[in-house]
Structure 1
Amino acid sequence: MTEPLLQASNITVRLGGRTVVDGANVTLNAGEFVALVGPNGAGKTTLLRALAGLLPCFGEVMLDGEKSSALTARERARRLAYLPQGHAFSWPLPAGEIVALGRYPHADPFSPVSQRDRTAVAHAMEATGTKDFADRIVTRLSGGERARVALARVLATEAKVLLADEPIISLDPRHQFVVMDVLQQVARSGGAVLTVLHDLALAARYASRVLVLEQGRIAADAPPQRALSRERIARIFGVETDMVRLGDMQVPMVTKPL
């Protein structure tokens, strides 16, 4: 039996004297696209940052069978890529150079760019529809364009585990589907994706599994139709939903607050 690409046990994060994530267990297997959902303030971003090694936490994170804490930052970055929300860029560099930064974990700063680097960058920009503005200064791009450049940079790393925090928040409807398709393809190619989503319908349509976070605790970890039941959505999110059939799946559509 193969090891999970990521296995986190009893992850607990305390910030400012308050427990923000409380005893979370997360497993990501190769081929899985997992959605992390929950109301504002549930601890979703905090959990993602803890899994990425960006926040101190109690508990243990394993990457491909090895303790994350025992890996160097470069080794961890080759195995796990993290896409934060916000897509802020401080440097006025061409978009193509920003994407190429995703190759940093694979070489030291003085190594020449390899053909594999060029291929990884080209594939990432093709997948995200960003190659047409590769030469444009990233700080002059629209919010949606910057979001796709940020995703391309993460994809260029070719890490097996991808953690994405609200990757579709600033995108128009078409590009929301483009990004969701890209993330799904990462999983289908043997990777594992954990992404924070607020759109419960998209979570149900794309995810193989849904984690529901409530006040720092995982309230559900199951396939979408079980995790996103009308009763659970009403209790945790405070909204009423109708279940709409799309093909062979039931998708929750929010209708009104409770």
Structure 2
Amino acid sequence: MSATSVALRLSDVHVSLGGHEVLHGIDLSFTAGRWTSVVGPNGAGKSTLLKTMAGLLPVTGRIFLFDQALVAMDRKQRAQQLSWLGQNESASDDLRVWDVVMLGRIPHQDWLAAPSVKDHAVVETALQATGAWDWRERSLGQLSGGERQRVLLARAMAVQAQVMLMDEPLANLDPPHQVDWLEQVRCLTSQNTTVVSVLHEVGMALHADDLVVMQAGRVVHQGPCADAVTHRAVEAVFDKRIAIHALDGQWVAVPKL
């Protein structure tokens, strides 16, 4: 696969919820092997956009996953190529952490087949990578919010999908584990995985390769995080209540009073 291939493409996508249109003619392309963060004020349509790309909402328009229409893919094929970590993901509190993460391997297993040696190896790797290995025999209900989030991230990673969509993946994570998450994303993109995340933390979002800036259900800008035009677009949708500056070689978002 070429490093410049398009992993996801949306063409004139509209989404209505409860009779109200919330996404208006979205046109976007996501390059394979890059990390894109979606930012914008509350109500901009960020989470709806991510759910739309995951195939979780009815749409008008076209969505392509590696040049194949998303609606034409069967559920197993789609689940193998695209993994999803949503806000407030549900999972039974009685399940062992190990079993929760093993759920990520279901798209690769035959019906009623026992997990393979590879499945076990992938689950162990995901648990080690997210720092959740020591809890593998505990139930999900015994974990804190941050610990639970790391387990659900491990489940998403265990799919080994070519595209990962994550809605507010930093929820409940303390700063050190937010840094761990950043490192995991960089590891994924180095393996040509495409990552798209919705982040409220603009400063964290600026670590991505690219930003999609949204407002009122529309994309107002898409571009590299290091681009000054991207910075001005982000500042504008937040009513110039933040300013983006370089600090110690990194871009930071500073509140403006």
**Fold equivalence (TM over 0.5):** yes
Secondary structure of the equivalent of 1:136?
A: coil
- Which 4+ residue blocks in structure 1 deviate beyond 6 angstroms? none
Please tell me whether the aligned partners of residues 13 and 56 of structure 1 are also in contact (alpha carbons under 8 angstroms).
yes
Q: CA RMSD in A?
A: 1.6
Change in CA separation of 1:87 and 1:16 when aligned onto 2, cut-off 3 Å: closer
CA distance in 2, matches of 1:67, 1:53: 11
* Deviation (angstroms), 1:174: 0.9
CA distance in 2, matches of 1:43, 1:104: 30
1:57 to 53, 56, 59: 59
User: What TM-score do the two structures reach when normalised by structure 2?
Assistant: 0.93
2:161 to 149, 159, 162: 159
CA distance in 2, matches of 1:48, 1:216: 12
* Deviation (angstroms), 1:7: 1.5
Structure 2 gaps, min length 5? none
Equivalence for 1:88: 90
Q: Greater shift after overlay, 25-34 or 124-133?
A: 25-34
Secondary structure of the equivalent of 2:241?
A: strand
* Deviation (angstroms), 1:249: 4.0
What amino acid does structure 2 have at the position aligned with 1:109?
W
Matched, 1:212 2:213: yes
Change in CA separation of 1:171 and 1:16 when aligned onto 2, cut-off 3 Å: same
What amino acid does structure 1 have at the position aligned with 2:252?
V
* Deviation (angstroms), 1:248: 3.7
Change in CA separation of 1:228 and 1:57 when aligned onto 2, cut-off 3 Å: same
Secondary structure of the equivalent of 1:85?
A: coil
Structure 1 gaps, min length 5? none
Q: How does 1:1-258 map to 2 (within 5 A)?
A: 3-204=5-206, 206-226=207-227, 228-229=230-231, 231-256=232-257
Secondary structure of the equivalent of 2:92?
A: coil
CA distance in 2, matches of 1:240, 1:28: 28
CA distance in 1, matches of 2:185, 2:92: 25
* Deviation (angstroms), 1:86: 1.3
Please tell me whether the aligned partners of residues 3 and 65 of structure 1 are also in contact (alpha carbons under 8 angstroms).
no
Question: Identity, % of aligned pairs?
Answer: 35
Aligned length: 254
Please tell me whether the aligned partners of residues 228 and 252 of structure 1 are also in contact (alpha carbons under 8 angstroms).
no
Please tell me whether the aligned partners of residues 130 and 153 of structure 2 are also in contact (alpha carbons under 8 angstroms).
yes
* Deviation (angstroms), 1:183: 1.8
